[in-house]
């Protein structure tokens, strides 16, 4: 009975934190986007999320504040997700690897939000690469475990989707301006797709892994 109660409580906590993460993510991006677009030219093919976070005024305040708040919420969600996967048989080594990688992802995310590229371009870009490549590694680890545990296919598929889109964006971003044909604008749409894929991943994992069973 105690184990069942503990699993139910874990599922409820995962659901609550997941919902907070989804609401915070969408609210931050949509609100800051509206503030930015009301006074500046905007295009999903030209405007980075970092451009919004770099714009002085309310777009910067809303975006960077929301991203800084999202970082610990997502790490808490990751911790609960790891605990839930361990209930399905995931190993302790998986948990350690996921949480350590997740810590680097959080550090990168905080660096991107706290250091706009106009303040220190190299630190911003380094933080961005740590974040995006960190997510690639983290999603690979998670997808493998979800596949091995024979969880609903939407879980490993959503993890793989995030992996693919983040890898494409991070690769293009690292080559922008250095390889012929890859300009500053080339990776932009992939950053927006990366955000959408992460929100889809978060929703899918919140709905399915928050079930007591």
pLDDT at 3: 53
pLDDT at 2: 47
Report, in angstroms and rounded to the nearest whole number, the Rg of the chain calculated over CA atoms: 18
pLDDT by 10-residue block (mean), the chain, 213 residues: 60 95 96 94 93 88 92 95 93 96 94 83 88 94 95 96 94 86 91 96 95 67
121 exposure class (CB count in 10 Å sphere: 0-12, 13-18, 19+): exposed
CA distance 63 to 53: 5
Q: Both tokens of residue 95?
A: 């948990």
CA distance 13 to 168: 33
pLDDT at 100: 97
Who contacts 60 (Cβ-Cβ below 8 Å, separation ≥6)? Answer: 32, 52, 53, 54, 116
**H/E element, 159:** helix 154-175
> Is the CB of residue 135 less than 8 Å from the CB of residue 166?
yes
Cα-to-chain-centroid distance, residue 188: 16
pLDDT at 213: 59
pLDDT at 113: 86
- The domain ranges of the chain are 2-209
User: Angle CA(88)–CA(7)–CA(142) in degrees, nearest 5?
Assistant: 35
């Amino acid at each position: 009975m105690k184990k069942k109660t503990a699993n139910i409580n874990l599922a409820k906590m995962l659901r609550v934190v997941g919902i907070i993460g989804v609401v915070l993510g969408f609210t931050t991006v949509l609100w800051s986007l509206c503030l930015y677009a009301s006074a500046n030219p905007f295009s999903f093919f030209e405007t980075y999320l970092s451009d919004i976070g770099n714009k002085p005024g309310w777009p910067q305040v809303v975006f960077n504040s929301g991203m800084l708040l999202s970082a610990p919420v997502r790490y808490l969600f990751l911790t609960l997700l790891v605990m839930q996967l361990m209930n399905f048989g995931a190993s302790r080594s998986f948990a350690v690897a996921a949480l350590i990688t997740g810590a680097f992802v959080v550090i990168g995310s905080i660096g991107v939000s706290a250091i706009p590229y106009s303040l220190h371009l190299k630190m911003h870009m380094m933080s961005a690469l740590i974040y995006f490549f960190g997510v690639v590694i983290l999603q690979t680890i998670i997808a493998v475990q979800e596949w091995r545990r024979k969880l609903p296919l939407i879980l490993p598929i959503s993890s793989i989707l995030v992996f693919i889109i983040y890898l494409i964006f991070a690769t293009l971003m690292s080559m922008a301006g250095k390889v012929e044909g890859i300009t500053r604008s080339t990776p932009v749409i992939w950053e927006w797709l990366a955000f959408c894929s992460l929100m889809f991943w978060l929703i899918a994992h919140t709905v399915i892994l928050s079930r007591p069973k």
